[in-house]
Amino acid sequence: MASCKVPRRSCSTIAGPWPLVMPRKGILNRTAAARTTTTAPRQTVVMFEDFTEEMVDGAGGLRLMVRHGGAGPAVLLLHGHPRTSSTWHRVAPLLVDAGFTVACADLPGYGRSDKPTPAPDHSPHSKRAGAGHLLAAMRNLGHDKFAVVGHDRGSYYALRLALDHPDHVTRAALLDCLPISEHLDRADARFATEWWHWFFFAQPELPERVINADPDTWYRGDPASMGEHNHAEWRAAVHDPEVVRGMLEDYRAGLGIDADHERADRAAGRRVQQPLLVLWSTRDDLEDLYGDPLTIWRDWADDVTGHGLDSGHHIAEQAPEDLTTALGEFLA
């Protein structure tokens, strides 16, 4: 069972087929590799040396699963779809070595975090609601001010944290991200063809039925590139229908209430006040679709820098050293 190193906060063990995180030596140690299936007993998985794993209160009683460790300025790492916080297993220890306190949270509705109750307008899964949970969790961990790094869907929560809570977020780094409203305002046949899953996920009920029928075929995770322990945690997540529902609700909120919130920000003249770093994977399609992403981001932030990284979409897994170097220079 997972231990709780910080007794002043409530820490609960995680039930179910989830692989648990225990200390280990080296970010690529695979000596205790285990494959998790929906019927296998729980297995001990070794990742995140010297990190604490616990359930931390967000807002309104919703709890988030957070891994945290290190000493120094705090930085919150937010994963994308369909990953969990374990996607950072190669980056988080490097940032700790660079002198940061690092927190990696499962997004609301994802992984082992609590699942908001769906609503017709999808507001419980909005990035504004999620940012509120993440801020509360960080403050409960003792971090009133922190930097935030988000990838893919996690970048939308990071953006909302920066826009809604500028007194708490010191810097923001967004990976493979443009604002949702910018995507939608530019949507054409090519975008709809290549990013069709956004619109499929928005349909009621059908995506759950399709994905839950065969999650492995739908998501196609690769333990060789992900790392076996990260893959085991990811696979446990995508085999949980409640997680699948939570992830889909994230997308449904994105096309409606989240895009509305972004457009309201633009109409009111709200911008990202903090220094903003934008990174993108050059072997993904963001640059192919839109050219230089910085051109778009300059409409949203005054102090924006960034560049591409030689990687596929999952930068934290595929180019952890290059990513850590870029983040370390920005966060210093």
Q: DSSP letter string over 185-196?
A: HT--HHHHHHTH
Structure tokens at 132: 């509120």
pLDDT tens figures, 126-177: 999 999 999 999 999 999 999 999 999 999 999 999 999 999 999 999 999 9
Residues belonging to the active site: 152, 313
Burial class (CB in 10 A: 0-12, 13-18, 19+), 192: exposed
Which residue stretches of the chain are H helix? Answer: 92-97, 127-140, 153-164, 180-185, 189-194, 196-201, 206-213, 215-219, 223-226, 228-238, 241-253, 259-268, 286-290, 293-297, 315-318, 320-331
- Long-range contact set of residues 139-142: C-beta below 8 Å, sequence gap at least 24: 139/168, 140/9, 140/56, 140/57, 141/9, 141/56, 141/66, 141/68, 141/103
pLDDT confidence band for 264 (50 / 70 / 90): very high
Tokens 């939608």: give the residue: 184
Q: Is the pLDDT of residue 41 over 70?
A: no
* Mean of per-residue pLDDT scores for the chain: 89
Q: Which domains does the chain have, with CATH numbers?
A: 20-331 (3.40.50.1820)
